[in-house]
A and B are shown apart, each in its own frame.
Chain A
Amino acid sequence: MMSSLSKKKLDIKLHPGQVIIGKWHRKSYQIVRELGFGATGTVYLADSKQGLVALKIASDSMSITSEVNVLRHFSKVQGPSLGPSFYDVDDYVANQGVYPFYVMEYINGEPFLPFLKDKGGEWLGIMVVQLLGDLHRLHQEGWIFGDLKPENLLVTRNPNRVRWLDVGGMTRVGRAIKEYTEFFDRGYWGYGGRKAEPSYDLFSVAMLMINRAYPSRFEKNTSKGPTSLISKIKAKNTLEPYETVIRRGLEGKYESAMAMRQELMSVVQNTSFTSRPKSEGNTITGKGKSVSRQARKKRNNVKEQKKPLVGLFESMLFASFLLILYILYLFGQAV
């Protein structure tokens, strides 16, 4: 965007070392550094009594208030937190005016695509499996993520875990999606409407996987005519094992995030992601049949030749998450 929305108040800039005290709750935060900025405000790393936190400040209280409503909602949900935990909301009184801000958990992680960049294809699968698990819980709570894209994801370390930020797009099921980015939006690609429902997010997940193979993305129309997403998938080796899952995600064929997760898990379990020169490629992936019984058998053979133990493990732990950990371990070493 070239110029921003007409605003009455100027954006505020906070400096490292600066101390912010909330007008209402009187809690104090010392700014460490800027973490990033987006359409609705700037996020800073800050030091507080609770330790390091992320503080988002804006000139306009509308979007801050909406985001706090969503964060608050999810801090009440049982189980591991969906998105950053919510800590505090307040106003900062500066000379130029009053600036609303909120404080949340600081997620210390690496951006999604850079994290995957030099890693084997299995990592894409694993990260998306994690993401789908979280999305499933979110959907069961009656919410849709909306603006799902790599910029809104971080991967934390030890263990590697994908986490999401920016709840600005979260929308209650059944309403109109609040915020989206064209590349990840099914409306843009003509694959459906913008009503908030699980399949909306699953389309974005599929595009997220495509984005891994096309870091600079692509547009809907080129001089050669409309872009076919399916041919884009087929054109990249990295996406080959995931072709069926991606296609079904795009087409809205999955009932739930859980169903997509299940299929993706079995792809990761049954695909050999190491050295995949073209010749070996066709024995390994039965082009989209990655979950069929036949393909599974083939894969067992391949693995048995390499490492007899794997076959044994497979029968014992099939469909169990431990196997994924095992695969992660194997390939984690190779990378």
Chain B
Amino acid sequence: MKKGTLRQILLLTDGCSNTGEDPIAIASLAKEEGISVNVIGIVDRQEMSERGVSEIESIAEAGGGISQVVYAKQLSQTVQMVTKKAMTQTIYGVVNKEVSQILGEEKELEDLEPEKRGQLMEVVDELGETMDLDVLILVDTSASMRNKLPMVQEALIDLSVSLRARTGSNHFALFSFPGKRKDVDKLINWSPNFDSISGAFKKMATSGVTPTGPALQEGIRIMAKRMKKKGTMDDELALEEEA
């Protein structure tokens, strides 16, 4: 049975955007397109500025995703956890919408008896395990990120190890921003794993600007193109049948 595809953009950055469109606005657009945006802020010795943290949280909130600020060392565990949590959250959100439709406005899963909630949660778990997943990864490669890139590479390989254990299929694509001439550069095209990742970061140019908004915009375009190509059915409908 076809269960549809979950779509995520995973943004890895270490600071604030400083050029182009407001990434918070663009993240809201992603959400409208049915794509959730997760953001991971990477810090090393220095703490991240308050403005940086607040931007990261706002992007994820606007994009219906999850945000987390971590030290580079904890990146692997965080990336896979955020990705999985966000999947569950998306499915949960859809199931919740269903519940409000059945029970009436302003009713949520929380208004169900705990027993029924448990049954619905089994459905959510089941879907999280079996739905297909597309993750578009956007890596900030502005100059300050340079020494964090080996950790990023390791975390992405680890993510692919985690997701490979799922029953549903996974596809990743890797982009960096800023690009050499454009806002983003493609490093790896859609592929089921990250075997080809070693060396991918070598090709990158590092610069001082951080065009997070334009990068997200391009990310949405790429996802939308893929969606059209695959001609997938409406995911929410698929979920409805399941729930």
Mostly helix, strand, loop or mixed at chain B's interface?
Answer: helix
Identify the stretch in A63-71, A209-217, A311-319 within 8 Å (CB) of chain B at 4 or more residues. A63-71
Interface residue total, chain B, C-beta cutoff 8 A: 41
Flag if A100 contacts B121 (CB, 8 Å).
no
Q: How far is the CB of B237 from chain A (nearest CB, A)?
A: 23
Q: Which residues of chain A from 269 to 313 have any CB-CB distance to chain B below 8 Å in the complex?
A: none
B76 within 8 A of A: yes
A253 within 8 A of B: no
Across-interface contacts of A176 in B (CB, < 8 A):
129, 162-163, 165-167
Across-interface contacts of A178 in B (CB, < 8 A):
84
Interface residue range, chain A: 20 to 34
Identify the stretch in A75-83, A111-119, A186-194 within 8 Å (CB) of chain B at 4 or more residues. A186-194
A72 within 8 A of B: yes
Chain B residue nearest to A89 in the complex (CB): B114
- Identify B118's interface contact among A2, A6, A68, A91, CB under 8 A: A68
> Complex Cα distance A177/B88, Å?
14
Given contacts A3-B69, A90-B114, A195-B165, contact A62 B77 (CB under 8 A): no
Flag if B161 contacts A91 (CB, 8 Å).
no
Flag if A100 contacts B114 (CB, 8 Å).
yes
B105 within 8 A of A: no
Flag if A193 contacts B165 (CB, 8 Å).
yes
> Complex Cα distance A62/B57, Å?
21
B190 within 8 A of A: no
Flag if B158 contacts A1 (CB, 8 Å).
no
Chain B residue nearest to A177 in the complex (CB): B165
Across-interface contacts of A195 in B (CB, < 8 A):
165
Across-interface contacts of B113 in A (CB, < 8 A):
24
Flag if B66 contacts A69 (CB, 8 Å).
no
A61 within 8 A of B: yes
A98 within 8 A of B: yes
A15 within 8 A of B: no
Q: How far is the CB of A305 from chain B (nearest CB, A)?
A: 51
Q: How far is the CB of B208 from chain A (nearest CB, A)?
A: 25
Across-interface contacts of B84 in A (CB, < 8 A):
178
Flag if A182 contacts B161 (CB, 8 Å).
no
Flag if B121 contacts A187 (CB, 8 Å).
no
> Complex Cα distance A147/B115, Å?
25
Given contacts A177-B165, A195-B165, contact A2 B71 (CB under 8 A): yes
Interface residues of A (CB under 8 A from B): 1-6, 24, 61-62, 65-66, 68-69, 72, 89-91, 98, 100, 174-178, 181-182, 187-188, 193-196
Interface residues of B (CB under 8 A from A): 43, 53, 57, 60-61, 66-71, 74, 76-78, 82, 84-85, 88-89, 92, 109-110, 113-115, 117-118, 121-122, 124-125, 129, 158, 161-167
Closest 7 CB pairs of A and B: A176-B165, A194-B165, A65-B121, A195-B165, A89-B114, A176-B166, A187-B161
